[in-house]
Amino acid sequence: MQQQIAKVKNKVIDNVLPFLKNFKVRKQVIIFLFFFSISFLLWIVQALNKNYTSSIKLHLNFTGNYENFSIKNPKMFKRTILLQVEGNGYTIFREKIRIFSNQADIDIGNLNLIKNQSNYNWYFYTNTIKTELQPQYGQSLKILDIEPDTLAFLLTQKVEKKIAIKANIKLNTAPGFAVKGKIELAPDSIVVEGPDYLMEKIDSVQLFSYTKNNLKSDINQNIGITLPPQISSPVKSCIVKAHIAEFTDISIQIPIDFENTPKNLEIITFPSKVQLTFSVFVEDYKHVNKDLINSKIDYYKIKPGDKYAEIEINTNNTNIFFLRFSPHFAEYLLQEKK
């Protein structure tokens, strides 16, 4: 028994002693790394407090107009410049690790542009925008120089053009009501201004979408005008007018007349009359002249062997609408006149 205890004791000692020795080594390594890290951080802090000269990328977005010119395709036109700056390490480090790219908007109207031989090719010296960019970095960084020293871009001339306005509206009337006449727009056209290459493709502009349901009364609505990008106009809205009136249905029967029938023939149809149904605005009811409505069969349009002839309806009455009639074809019989 004592021998077994001794064996266990020796085994424990053999396993524990190396661990204790390794623990001392690990402890020394940990202590070394701890003080090394503190020293390194102190060195970084001290280093970042010093002033350095470095470079920072900056993306320029150009906007606005220059006299009677604007940038062609401004969304696609971006330039990246390199700023040579001087400042403390903290600020330079912060600018270099920013998640979002440095950007600046430049109004070309404030630039001192120089024209090349081409009328639409312009350039400027980048050092002229140094004072405009400096406030973005405050006093912590000083812009020393900008690369490249010049930037060139293409300008397009702005022109004016008169174009039509299209109504983008839906007027849904209540049962028994309808829009009478045309929808009026005031104004029905506007003068717009924009780059010449865009103006060639534009012949109209639309109103903002407008929908009105269950209408029983007139519409007199001011609606804004939608303008494409880079297109401007002093007129921003349009008055839309529509007359909403009540209507009623009228049903009458009229005889079928004939056209181009040979003198020796007559046509007999079955039925001999047509049932007409049409709508008329209540306010125009007294002005409806039913005699201006007639039906006919054209002899020249009857094909040999056909059993039925087509009925045509003619009317010069402008007060009626939604005209329906029945039948559309009539059985006919040709016979010689006695």
Query: What's the pLDDT at 188?
Result: 93
Nearest by Cα to 225 from 239, 240, 238: 238
**Residue 178 — pLDDT band, cuts 50, 70, 90?**
very high
Domain spans, the chain: 1-48, 51-157, 160-246, 247-336
Nearest by Cα to 148 from 124, 131, 116: 124
Q: What is the pLDDT of residues 266-289, one digit of tens each?
A: 888 899 999 999 999 999 988 888
Q: What is the pLDDT of residues 180-226, one digit of tens each?
A: 999 999 999 999 988 887 888 888 999 999 999 999 999 999 999 99
Beta strand residue intervals within 77-218, DSSP E: 78-88, 103-107, 114-115, 121-125, 141-147, 150-166, 169-173, 177-186, 189-195, 204-207, 210-215
Query: What's the pLDDT at 134?
Result: 81
Average pLDDT over residues 66-78: 65
Beta bridge partners of 325: 276
Q: Does domain 51-157 have CATH number 2.170.120.30?
A: yes
CATH architecture for residues 160-246: Beta Complex (2.170)
* Per-residue pLDDT at 123 exceeds 90: no
Between 37-46, 127-136, 162-171, 290-299, the lowest mean confidence (pLDDT) is in 37-46
**Residue 114 — pLDDT band, cuts 50, 70, 90?**
confident
Give the count of alpha carbons within 13 A of 108, CB side only. Answer: 26
Q: Provide the CATH number for the domain formed by 247-336 in this structure.
A: 2.170.120.30
Average pLDDT over residues 92-101: 63
Q: What is the pLDDT of residues 137-149, one digit of tens each?
A: 777 778 888 888 8
Q: In angstroms, how far is CA 157 from the centroid of its own chain?
A: 24
Query: What's the pLDDT at 16?
Result: 47
Query: What's the pLDDT at 14?
Result: 56
Q: What is the pTM of this model?
A: 0.57
Work out the mean pLDDT of the chain and round it to a whole number: 80
**Residue 1 — pLDDT band, cuts 50, 70, 90?**
very low
- Domains 51-157 and 247-336 are alike in CATH topology: yes
Pick the most confident of 8-17, 104-113, 144-153: 144-153
Who has greater pLDDT, 180 or 336?
A: 180
Query: What's the pLDDT at 44?
Result: 54
Q: What is the pLDDT of residues 235-244, one digit of tens each?
A: 999 999 999 9
* Per-residue pLDDT at 318 exceeds 90: no
